[in-house]
Amino acid sequence: MTFFQVERIYVFLEKDTDHYAIEAQNLPEDWKLNFHFLGRRMRYKDAFQYASNNLLRRNVMIMNADCYVDKGFEQLDESILNKKTMYALTRHETPENVRLCNVEDFCGPMARYRGSHDAFLFRLLVPLPSQLLDNIDYRPNMLDIEPVLIFNFKKYVKFNVKNPCKILHVVHHHCSKERNETERTINGHPVNRYLRMKRQQGWAPFSSL
């Protein structure tokens, strides 16, 4: 067993001035923040390419910006991650968010798995192949991108993708209803349909560690 502690947080920026707004908040442990200027919206390829180039043999989590790490990670067993296991975690909601924001807890006690994932926890021992990276070159906010990502990790690097979201909790906090729905599709289709891929090919239902 390995004690889970966040050592570094890597933030990919659209504008080279975005970091000023974050630094102005004087966040606790803000020394952990590392800013990387992209000049555009981040895509999954950017994040996984960075991990492949710079974070081999490290525990890495790629997570949507409207989520945070919560309980359960003291149970993380690093030896499992060393054996080509990726945890694709479905998010939780706090009771306050459910009540005040009119949102559903996707990994709650009565939740039904629907192919939604907000965080990917993994440990790379060797760099990722370019073909995999090219096939996940999409923004994280696009509809049904998670099954596409999971499918490609199974296909190209033979990862065992699991979803122990009822043990390892990431919590979603996004009360705003402002979302640009038109930018979440390709020619009006979710990514998996655009690629003519069935969602179930990239599903990772609720599981144990």
pLDDT of amino acid 182: 80
Residues 161, 88 contacting (CB under 8 angstroms): yes
For residues 59 and 125, give the distance between their C-alpha atoms in angstroms, rounded to a whole number.
Answer: 10
Spans of the chain below 50 pLDDT: 1-3
Write the single-letter amino acid at 62: I
> How do beta strands 170-172 and 85-89 pair?
unpaired
Contact in structure between 94 and 171 (CB atoms under 8 Å): yes
CA separation for the pair 15, 32 (Å, rounded): 20
Can you give the pLDDT at residue 4? 61
Residue 61, φ and ψ in degrees, nearest 5: -125, 125
pLDDT per residue over 16-33, tens digit each? 999 999 999 999 999 999
The predicted pLDDT at position 79 comes to 94
Can you read off the two tokens belonging to residue 36? Answer: 């990387």
Look at residue 160 in the predicted model and tell me its pLDDT: 98
Distance between CA atoms of residues 105 and 111, nearest Å: 7
